[in-house]
Amino acid sequence: MRIGDLAATSGLTAKTIRYYEQAGLMPAAPRTSGGYRDYPAEAATRLAFIRDAQHAGLTLAEIRSVLALRDSGQAPCGHVTDLIDQHLEEINRRIAELRTTRTALRDLALRAAATDPDTCTEGGICTIFSSQEASRLMPG
């Protein structure tokens, strides 16, 4: 299958397929006598895997490691499970950070709503972020 046909089948561009080949995600395709790449039918399956793994958040390096295991004849399921677990941990960490940031921004929004711009002095930049202003406006 020529690269244009593979691109149409996979929903990727020929440029992306060539990049994946250069990056070691796709094996080099044999060439026709005219010099065109001639991909086997299973190349579409491999590209679908790469696309799906990327959509799940795996990096190209991680995808390459999964493909290397498969190419060596090993089932990569354990490795994939570990990668998924690592990504879930990272997402959970980021969600916790975002929740903390949301709480801080809500507090700042309350402080901003209670701040009179006429009380701002030239000595400071913005009293909304001032810890002195925060202790005055926040109970306790």
**Closest by CA position to 17, among listed 35, 4, 34, 32:** 4
pLDDT at 133: 46
Distance of alpha carbon 89 from alpha carbon 128, whole angstroms: 34
pTM (two decimals): 0.75
Phi, psi (degrees; rounded to nearest 5) at 125: -95, -55
pLDDT tens for 34-70 read 999 899 999 999 999 999 999 999 999 999 999 999 9
Distance of alpha carbon 18 from alpha carbon 26, whole angstroms: 8
**Closest by CA position to 38, among listed 27, 46, 51:** 27
Low-confidence ranges of the chain (pLDDT < 50): 133-134, 137, 140
